[in-house]
């Protein structure tokens, strides 16, 4: 049995070993993919931007007509208890809220299914941050992009192809317009302005923090972005809860500028680390 299966999880009000947890095959999350996903992380045992994650989860639940059975305070307490039960120092937290079991395959159940799992936080290679990574484009737009759904079909389907291309992420492009990556948001600098797509993307929590930090130093523009424009950028980077700010130096076969991590990206990365030190690390 793997160490992961021996972890303690939370399922519909109960704490139990992950290997003993079970969801009915009639649950709409399993049967129809009707479920939300939220991923969080900790820094020195503190949850990163919990209120923003909770707000996104509750907004998604409202749109999908799902009742989140825990208040913000209750959910936070469950997460910290799971971290302690599993003796974790730094954790990755996954929350799934699904439609439960309905009268038939297209009817919401009277009670949603709520699952929380934690595991050790996986950190990406430090070399990625020093020399940057490659993205490869995929012609795709997520359905309901403003929702963080459990549907990651294309990301999983093309994962091996992406790895074979020696890329770190898939970049979704639709009709020549840049949207988002499979599990992250994308930004780029042109001259002194930081630009990121506005429409057809998930409102990333780290994205929100980076935009706020960037506005203290640079003009920031949220707008439509073409792939042609992105390939001519001065600097590119992606953001996510687990990646923080990750520099991009190549997209498909095109090197960004000189193929080096840009100075403005390094400045923002430093600002982000200072933000973390101030808010999550003991002085």
Q: How confident is the model at residue 1 (pLDDT cuts 50, 70, 90)?
A: very low
pLDDT of 69 > 60? The answer is yes
The CATH fold of domain 126-280: D-amino Acid Aminotransferase; Chain A, domain 2 (3.20.10)
On the question of a common fold for 4-120 and 126-280, the answer reads: no
Q: What is the mean pLDDT of residues 90-101?
A: 97
Q: How confident is the model at residue 8 (pLDDT cuts 50, 70, 90)?
A: very high
DSSP labels, 55-104: HHHHHHHHHTT----S-HHHHHHHHHHHHHHTT-SSEEEEEEEE----SS
pLDDT of 184 > 90? The answer is yes
pLDDT of 2 > 60? The answer is no
Q: What is the mean pLDDT of residues 238-251?
A: 98
Domain boundaries, the chain: 4-120, 126-280
The architecture (CATH level 2) of 4-120 comes to 2-Layer Sandwich (3.30)
pLDDT per residue as tens digits for the range 138-181: 999 999 999 999 999 999 999 999 999 999 999 999 999 999 99
pLDDT of 43 > 60? The answer is yes
The predicted pLDDT at position 283 comes to 56
Please return the burial class of 33, using the count of CB atoms within 10 Å of its CB with bins 0-12, 13-18 and 19+: middle
Q: How far apart are CA 73 and CA 269, in angstroms?
A: 31
Q: What is the mean pLDDT of residues 126-134?
A: 97
Q: How far apart are CA 109 and CA 107, in angstroms?
A: 6
- 8 Å CB contact between 169 and 217: no
The predicted pLDDT at position 27 comes to 97
Spatial CA neighbour of 69 closest among 8, 111, 16: 111
pLDDT per residue as tens digits for the range 194-244: 999 999 999 999 999 999 999 999 999 999 999 999 999 999 999 999 999
Q: What is the mean pLDDT of residues 7-15?
A: 97
pLDDT of 56 > 50? The answer is yes
The predicted pLDDT at position 52 comes to 98
Q: Which residue has the tokens 């840009």?
A: 262
The predicted pLDDT at position 6 comes to 82
What percent of the chain shows pLDDT beyond 90? 96
The predicted pLDDT at position 141 comes to 97
């Amino acid at each position: 049995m793997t160490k992961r299966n021996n972890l303690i999880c939370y399922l519909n009000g109960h704490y139990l070993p992950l290997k003993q947890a079970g969801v009915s095959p009639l649950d709409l999350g399993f049967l129809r993919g009707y479920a939300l996903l939220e991923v969080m992380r900790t820094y020195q045992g503190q949850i990163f931007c919990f209120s923003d994650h909770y707000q996104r989860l509750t907004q998604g639940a409202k749109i999908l007509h799902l009742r989140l059975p825990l208040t913000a305070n209750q959910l936070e307490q469950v997460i910290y208890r799971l971290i302690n039960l599993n003796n974790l120092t730094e954790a990755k937290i996954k929350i799934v809220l699904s439609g439960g079991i309905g009268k038939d395959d297209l009817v919401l159940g009277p009670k949603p299914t709520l699952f929380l799992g934690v595991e050790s936080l996986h950190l990406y290679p430090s070399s990625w941050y020093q020399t940057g990574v490659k993205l490869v484009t995929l012609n795709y737009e997520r359905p309901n992009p403003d929702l963080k759904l459990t549907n990651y079909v294309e990301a999983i389907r093309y994962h091996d192809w992406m790895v074979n291309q020696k890329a770190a992420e898939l970049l979704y492009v639709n009709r020549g317009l840049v949207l988002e990556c499979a599990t992250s948001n994308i930004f780029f600098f042109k001259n002194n302005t930081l630009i990121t797509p506005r429409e057809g993307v998930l409102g990333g929590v780290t994205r929100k923090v980076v935009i706020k930090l960037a506005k203290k130093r640079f003009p920031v523009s949220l707008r439509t972005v073409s792939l042609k424009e992105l390939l001519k950028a001065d600097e590119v980077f992606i953001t996510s809860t687990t990646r923080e700010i990750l520099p991009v130096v190549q997209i498909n076969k095109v090197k960004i500028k000189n193929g080096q991590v840009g100075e403005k990206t390094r400045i923002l990365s430093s600002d982000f680390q200072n933000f973390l030190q101030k808010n999550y690390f003991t002085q």
